Amino acid sequence: MYMRWTLKPKPEQSKVRSLQEVLKVDTITATLLVQRGIETYDQARHFFRPELNELHNPFLMKDMDIAVSRIERAMSEEESIMVFGDYDVDGTTAVALLSTFLDDIHDRVTTYIPDRYDEGYGISIKGIDYADDNDISLIIALDCGIKAIDQVEYAKSKGIDFIICDHHRPGENLPDAIAILNPKREDCNYPYKELCGCGVGFKLIQAITEKRGETVEDIGFYLDLVATAIAADIVPMTGENRALAHYGLQVINSSPRPGIKALLASKKKDQYNITDVVFTLAPRINAAGRMKHGLYAVDLLRETDYSSAVIAAEAIDGFNTERRELDKMITEEAINIIISAGEEECDSTVVYKENWHKGVLGIVASRLIETYYRPTIVLTLSNGLITGSVRSVKGFDVYNALEKCKSHLDRFGGHKYAAGLTLKPENLSAFKTDFEEVVASTIQADQKIPEITIDMEIEFDEITPKLHRILSQMAPFGPGNMTPVFMSRNLADTGYAKQVGELANHLKARFVHGHSIKKLGAIGFGLGKKMELLRNRKKVMAAYSIDENHWNGRIDLQLKLRDLKST
């Protein structure tokens, strides 16, 4: 797939020089920091050394005082509390976090995750009926509920109160809940808007903790769950999220809860990073809700005995293996449907098959974007309704596109880049037509081409172990603080380039740069077809990040290639 390269403009050089002087760092580091809005010593200190005691006051969030008071009343009057959450990583980690916390101060706490296939996403009538049958008078919903107007009204008719902790975009009207904690509320002045659902849950327990005369450090051990949710939900790695993820990774690497330790056991490392969380931990937690039931994940994350956690983790690992096989099969089927319909050149993808497994539709949508780079919806039939997952491309707000097509939908919700929806089968054709028209009329030409954003152009002689150490300290990486990407021109392979991997779809090379004698190894995952560019020592330019290669006890710097182009 053709990639467009966008080189970031050089920041104001006076700011770069000033930061160099106060931090005593090289030009590359100072430039990267200024590009990220870091221009002073204090800003750099907060960036490299975030402090938990600098988190925002949780009571700045709209309704936080009401939520805390209602929970305190529930405890004092010995009410039963249900902690209700979505079945993905963000929801299950949030339920594990809040329920474990409440267990320590209240003895009447129940957890509930809706069945993806029987109940669908969000607050369910079945869940409310379960609460009613079990004399539960307070439900705390996490990572869902911001649009559950009818469900909250139904609960109210049964004498059940709701506290909603969500981060999804609200609709025009809010549910009539006792309290709604959501930084994205228009009437909420909380300083940081990008918390995930588990992050909102953490702010709630932070508020309860402070009300009890303790500090945020006393609940720091919960941050392994919060960091996992931040990484999995791909929220911005800025502000509070960066601090929470920073300390959450410390917990994961020093004293993780048994469930997380067991899930990471298959990937033995001295230090785990956000990439490990995204590609090793999160898919396994997600697999429980996708293939079986989200409560498997909640129970594992609440487990206190490591031996029991290992057994549970093995079962979840089996779900993940099954998930991988399914998403590969369905992706192939979806591509065949697109080709058969002659829709390769459309501006959007809406693909449907009634017997597809509901649990992998989001993954399949992301896979299809790798082939057809455009907003994508993958649908199946569930309980008589068509339901599915939506994924978008960089810069295109798919939530707004769905908003313009909502007359065809029973319900929808989500973010700029990911959403879920439900509609009646008879509305599918009209929805597909309208969605294509909306996307075609609003998507920009450059949004149809995947982009590599390059921080700066550098020389091989500038790539040193010291630079790599500083770059590593800029982690955790994610939206808003992406892994630095560099480019270099006039590279030539030294003659050892080869395609590697079972399908020969990866590229391994060793480059020399211009007249420099310095040589650097390189690995390009999925770039096997670029091998032709390197034959006969042809000159190329490379976009890459700087990584370490560990082999036979030796550690060398290497280029992790993002793309190659002829010069």
What's the pLDDT tens digit per position in 511-544?
A: 998 777 899 999 999 999 999 999 888 999 999 9
Q: Do 357 and 387 belong to one domain?
A: yes
Q: What is the pLDDT of residue 117?
A: 84
| 510 assigned to some structural domain | yes
Where is the domain boundary, 384, 417, 448?
448
Q: What is the pLDDT of residue 1?
A: 77
Where is the domain boundary, 380, 415, 448?
448
Quote the distance between the C-alpha of residue 452 and its chain's center. 19
* Average of per-residue pLDDT values in the chain: 95
Q: Do 217 and 102 belong to one domain?
A: yes
Q: Is the CA virtual torsion 98, 100, 103, 104 positive or negative?
A: negative
Least confident of 62-76, 114-128, 138-152, 346-360: 114-128
pLDDT in tens, 240-253: 999 999 999 999 99
Query: Would you put residue 63 in left (φ > 0), alpha (ψ -120 to 50) or beta?
Result: left
Count how many domains the chain has: 3
Return the higher-pLDDT residue of 555 and 490.
490
Choose among 329, 25, 69, 330: nearest CA to 178: 69
Q: Do 311 and 395 belong to one domain?
A: no
| 42 assigned to some structural domain | no
What predicted TM-score, i.e. pTM, was given to this entire model?
A: 0.92
Query: Would you put residue 351 in left (φ > 0), alpha (ψ -120 to 50) or beta?
Result: beta
**Mean pLDDT along residues 428-447:** 97
| 18 assigned to some structural domain | no
Chain position carrying tokens 């040589």: 519
Separation between Cα atoms, residue 117 and residue 497, nearest integer Å = 48
Q: Which two tokens stand for residue 303?
A: 């487990």
Q: Do 421 and 467 belong to one domain?
A: no
Q: What is the pLDDT of residue 514?
A: 79
Q: Which two tokens stand for residue 455?
A: 């921080």
Q: What is the pLDDT of residue 166?
A: 97
Q: Are strands 411-414 and 418-423 parallel, antiparallel or unpaired?
A: antiparallel
- The CATH number given to whatever domain includes residue 543 is 2.40.50.460
Q: What is the pLDDT of residue 552?
A: 81
| 261 assigned to some structural domain | yes
pLDDT in tens, 315-360: 999 999 999 999 999 999 999 999 999 999 999 999 999 999 999 9
Q: What is the pLDDT of residue 550?
A: 82
Q: What percent of the chain has pLDDT over 70?
A: 100
Q: Do 282 and 356 belong to one domain?
A: no
Q: Read off the amino acid at residue 62.
A: K
Query: Which DSSP string do the residues of 423-470 spell out, in sequence order?
Result: E-GGGHHHHHHHHHHHHHHH--GGGGS-EEEE-EE--GGG--HHHHHH
Question: Domain range spanning residue 533?
Answer: 451-566
Q: What is the pLDDT of residue 517?
A: 84
Q: Do 125 and 272 belong to one domain?
A: yes
pLDDT in tens, 382-416: 989 999 999 999 999 999 999 999 999 999 988 89
Separation between Cα atoms, residue 88 and residue 90, nearest integer Å = 6
pLDDT in tens, 470-505: 999 999 999 999 999 999 999 999 998 999 998 999
pLDDT at 433 over 90: yes
Q: Do 426 and 463 belong to one domain?
A: no
| 24 assigned to some structural domain | no
Where is the domain boundary, 251, 283, 315?
315
pLDDT in tens, 74-83: 999 999 999 9
Residues 6 or more apart in contact with residue 106 via CB below 8 angstroms: 74, 75, 81
Choose among 255, 267, 259, 252: nearest CA to 296: 259
**Mean pLDDT along residues 191-200:** 97
pLDDT at 94 over 90: yes
pLDDT in tens, 284-314: 999 999 999 999 999 999 999 999 999 999 9
Separation between Cα atoms, residue 273 and residue 277, nearest integer Å = 7
Q: What is the pLDDT of residue 567?
A: 87
Q: Do 384 and 491 belong to one domain?
A: no
Q: Do 126 and 140 belong to one domain?
A: yes
297-300 contacts, C-beta under 8 A, 24 or more apart: 297/87, 297/89, 297/92, 297/96, 298/85, 298/92, 298/95, 298/96, 298/99, 298/111, 298/113, 300/259, 300/262, 300/263
Q: Do 196 and 274 belong to one domain?
A: yes
pLDDT at 211 over 80: yes
Choose among 475, 484, 477: nearest CA to 452: 484
